[in-house]
Amino acid sequence: MAEFYYNSINRRVFIKTGLGALVGLISAGTRKSVGSDKVRKKETTWAFLADTHISEDVSDNYRGFYPYQNLQKVLAQIISDPPDGVAIAGDLARLEGKVGDYANLKELLNPVAEKTPIFMALGNHDNRENFRRIFNEIAGEKQPSASKHVVVFNNPPIRLIVLDSLFYVNKVPGLLGRAQRRWLEDYLRKCDDTPTILCFHHSLGDGDGDLLDVPRLFNIIKPVPKVKAILYGHSHEYRYSQFQGIHLINLPATGYNFSDAEPVGWVKARLTAKGGDFTLHVVAGNKAKDRSLKKLVWRT
């Protein structure tokens, strides 16, 4: 499920600024606004995370990693220079998406949510109902798509579409589904040519644990040049690849890795209408590529 979360403390000020006009931008108190220098310069900055795996037990650990403490470190780095947005590509919770998992996650995110919008997609270890019980304040351009929750965030020079690949709780495969794919195809046909990035949880391989409708998704987006990249997690790996010019960005896990060769951390991106600079920030795991930079050029 795609959600945009902001701290409810600022709700009154947020409404006064005009919810519809701002299309889900963060409430007053943030240091960046619609008329900011970043927007005028045709540049935007984002923090991209995946697989936070926060538990109701703050001492929960796996393979020697402590997801709660890892996210604390990541958020401290993010809030030191708040970006224009934060996106988390699913598996927010540890295993089954318990209410206590999301309560802890919300508490961790509150300081950042006061500065900048946070979008979250649900993964296979999330629970849609429990997530909604805790993150009940949402905004943005929420789109109807059967039981799925889809959010569009237009923040020129980039449009972010957060899709919902949650299929079954605590079972590995993911699925967008026919209704969501039809919505996406229709939306892409009607929207303007703002460079567009898709974000969801599941990886894009052909295994039983990946996104099950990858070929159908690619059939929709490959003839649409405005779709520039896909952000996803799930594999707990950090990789860049391409499909017919579309950049496929496998974000590193924030909670823990599955292999000692992989970093644990997040990615800071500077995005323009022509491409993006993606910088890896490592807080645990293999730190060999910490602060490494990947430059991508969008297809035309």
**Distance between CA atoms of residues 292 and 288, nearest Å:** 9
277-286 pLDDT, tens digit per residue, is: 999 999 999 9
Task: Work out the number of other CB atoms within 10 angstroms of the CB of residue 73.
Answer: 17
98-154 pLDDT, tens digit per residue, is: 999 999 999 999 999 999 999 999 999 999 889 989 988 764 577 776 677 789 999
**Distance between CA atoms of residues 263 and 250, nearest Å:** 12
Token match 């409430």: residue? Answer: 27
E strand segments, 222-262: 227-232, 239-243, 246-250
Please state the pTM of the whole predicted model: 0.87
Please tell me what DSSP assigns to residue 15.
H
Q: In the CATH scheme, what is the homologous superfamily, with its name and number, of domain 3-297?
A: Metallo-dependent phosphatases (3.60.21.10)
**Distance between CA atoms of residues 243 and 240, nearest Å:** 11
pLDDT of residue 103: 98
214-253 pLDDT, tens digit per residue, is: 999 999 999 999 999 999 999 999 999 999 999 999 999 9
**Distance between CA atoms of residues 224 and 190, nearest Å:** 11
pLDDT of residue 146: 61
In the three-class reduction of DSSP (H, G, I as helix; E, B as strand; rest coil), residue 163 is classed as coil
Asked if residue 11 has pLDDT above 50, the reply is no
Instruction: Give the domain ranges of the chain.
Output: 3-297
Residue 133 in tokens: 């019980």
